[in-house]
Structure 1
């Protein structure tokens, strides 16, 4: 994997999971299998439903669909932008 195959996002509003507070989420570049059933145009256009399906597949700790759906807009967009960045050709990615 290249060094751009992972990204860390610090959440503005942590996710509360029982006694655990998740304030940082690691994203990894999705594999073809993790994109199965998704329309890539929807992902690139930041369509919420597609990202709510994809993000649980590529996050560590693994977020649930409900946790992703419950994110504030700012945190959701931060995760979405990093995810879309993985789908760009390497010469189009920001440095």
Structure 2
């Protein structure tokens, strides 16, 4: 049987208007990468993330925002993935940031 720490419990991806977003949720951690508002695909430095939230980006996409002291990394996801992403991120990272 494969090591469960190597298999994500949730793997969401979106290619949207020329940008790429991916959030992978494991039982003990989250990984993410994005090209939205970036010159190329960038891994979100999860060790530096101090909070997260989900915000609308457009009528057909939401942004998962990972906030560090120096930057905000926005990962685009399909609007239909918002609820499952919110639930999974709360389980691993705790409650989202408030405005």
Normalization by structure 2: what TM-score? 0.34
Q: Which has the higher strand share?
A: 2
Normalization by structure 1: what TM-score? 0.35
Where relative contact order (Cα < 8 A, 6+ residues apart) is larger, the structure is 1
